[in-house]
Amino acid sequence: MAKDAICAYLTNKLGIRSIPALMIFQSGERKWQGMGVQNLGVLKQQLEKLVE
């Protein structure tokens, strides 16, 4: 999935503006973990790194 599609899905379709805790797994391996409330800009930057 393209990075823009991931960000669009998380921010627009789900209406997410901040996430208190989020972990993303791929094939059983944790690829990313965010703790604490993160604003939308920071969240987009961090998630874009996953799909580069």
pLDDT of residue 1: 52
Domain carrying residue 10: 3-50
Beta carbons of 46 and 39 less than 8 angstroms apart: no
Q: How many Å from the N-terminal Cα to the C-terminal Cα in the chain?
A: 11
Model confidence over 1-49: pLDDT tens digits?
555 677 677 777 677 766 667 778 888 888 877 766 777 888 888 888 8
- The domain total for the chain is 1
pLDDT of residue 18: 65
pLDDT of residue 40: 81
- What is the rounded CA–CA span in Å between residue 35 and residue 21? 5
pLDDT of residue 19: 61
pLDDT of residue 31: 81
pLDDT of residue 48: 82
